[in-house]
């Protein structure tokens, strides 16, 4: 065998994460960001082994748990997704924190455990409500989130003129209300919604200039988020379309943070207010506005995101030295059109920030 990797498989409100807890001795780099860049630019095999077929699938993400570099952190983790490495991710943070606590890698304190995890983008504070050895709920505070443009007209051939809200919630998000287009954001619409989001994306990119006021390098539109009225007791519903054209199963931490910022900019939410965001499968994140802060010309919010996470299995990924598919493969039937452009066959280098 070339490699055996020990994993805890998890999901957070339906979004799966494969948490690597053993089999990787170390990753070169003085900082956690250096370690991420090493995997990204020098040796991308671990991500491909974990996430590409025949061992993985398009919706799956992975995190690699490592000893903390920053002495203030309890542990560190690197984030690998189907088309990229990320500086931070909400669902991956919650899944990783839960796995560390419920397997005993970090000590659980009942009824509340406070954790500091180190992501490549920085330190993340996590609070876990714990009962009888289980994390019943987990909450993290996200980076300052803000809306930059509301109701921007974007013409999409074959769809029509859309009015798009642009916001930052740790990643740049374009929100489109699809109720007028006849969508309810239910599971039977999943493939059509994913294709619609990818159809909308390039026209938003051409029509809207995106630039973070304090970190100009952050100018990549990560998600097109389609919104509709709530259907299962929440305050709203969304479907996050992720490259290469698949849907987040959870309500998405970044999207929920950005949506709170949009609602605050429209005067619909204030400090202390909560917003229950439903996913396409009716799982929920509770977003809350903790505080307000000025970011350049924008009035930003500090959001917190609360969700639930579960262990789904313990997995040993095995790579045999004579396996011709050791480095994995992707097919366009489930991985989207980006496969044909070669996007998924390399580590995508884009700016990373807490999400």
DSSP annotation string for 336-352: -GGGGGTGGGS------
DSSP annotation string for 236-248: EEEEEEETTTEE-
- How is residue 105 annotated by DSSP? S
DSSP annotation string for 33-49: HHHHHHHHHT--HHHHH
Q: Of 76, 82, 89, 243, which residue is the catalytic one?
A: 89
Phi, psi of 68 (to 5 degrees): -65, 140
What does the block give as tokens for 327? 């480095």
Q: What is the C-alpha R_g of the chain?
A: 19
Residues 328 and 346: beta-carbon distance below 8 Å: no
| Chain-centroid distance, C-alpha 82 | 11
- How is residue 205 annotated by DSSP? H
Among this protein's residues, is 89 annotated catalytic? yes
Query: Residue 184: how many CB atoms within 10 A of its CB?
Result: 14
Residues paired with residue 164 on neighbouring β-strands, in sequence order: 152, 176
Kindly report each contact of residues 201-209 with a partner whose C-beta sits within 8 Å and lies 24 or more positions away, as own/partner: 201/174, 201/241, 203/154, 203/155, 203/156, 203/157, 204/154, 204/164, 204/166, 204/174, 207/152, 207/153, 207/154, 207/155, 207/164, 208/149, 208/152, 208/154, 208/164, 208/166, 208/174
Sign of CA dihedral 123, 284, 295, 174: positive
Q: Residue 263, SS3?
A: helix
Which of 270, 266, 279 has its CA nearest to residue 230? 279
Catalytic residues, which ones? 89
């Amino acid at each position: 065998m070339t490699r055996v990797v020990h994993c805890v498989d998890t999901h957070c409100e339906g979004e799966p994460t494969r948490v690597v807890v053993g089999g990787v001795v170390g990753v070169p780099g003085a900082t956690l960001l250096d370690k991420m860049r090493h995997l990204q630019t020098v040796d991308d095999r671990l991500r491909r082994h974990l996430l590409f077929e025949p061992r993985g699938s398009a919706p799956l993400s992975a995190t690699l748990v490592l000893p903390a570099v920053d002495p203030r952190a309890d542990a560190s983790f690197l984030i690998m997704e189907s088309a990229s490495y990320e500086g931070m991710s909400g669902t991956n943070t919650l899944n990783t924190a839960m796995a560390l606590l419920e397997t005993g890698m970090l000590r659980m304190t009942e009824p509340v455990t406070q954790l500091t995890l180190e992501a490549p983008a920085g330190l993340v504070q996590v609070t876990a409500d714990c009962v009888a050895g289980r994390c019943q709920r987990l909450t993290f505070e996200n980076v300052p989130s803000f809306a930059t443009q509301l109701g921007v007209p974007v013409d999409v051939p074959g769809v029509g003129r859309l009015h798009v809200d642009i916001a930052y919630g740790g990643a740049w998000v374009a929100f489109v209300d699809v109720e007028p287009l006849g969508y309810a954001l239910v599971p039977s619409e999943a493939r059509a919604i994913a294709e619609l989001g990818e159809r909308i994306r390039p026209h938003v990119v051409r029509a809207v200039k995106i630039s973070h006021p304090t970190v100009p390098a952050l100018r990549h539109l990560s998600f097109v988020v389609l919104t509709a009225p709530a259907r299962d007791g929440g305050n709203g519903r969304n479907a996050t379309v992720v490259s290469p054209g698949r849907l987040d199963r959870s309500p998405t931490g970044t999207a929920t943070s950005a949506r709170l910022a949009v609602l605050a900019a429209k005067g619909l939410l204030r400090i202390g207010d909560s917003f229950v965001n439903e996913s396409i499968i009716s799982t929920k994140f509770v977003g809350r506005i903790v505080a307000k802060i000025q970011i350049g010309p924008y009035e930003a919010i500090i959001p917190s995101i609360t969700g639930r996470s579960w262990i789904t299995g313990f997995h040993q990924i095995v790579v045999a030295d004579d396996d011709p598919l050791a480095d994995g493969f992707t097919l366009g039937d489930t991985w989207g059109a980006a496969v044909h452009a070669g996007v998924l066959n390399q580590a995508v280098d884009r700016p990373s920030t807490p999400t």
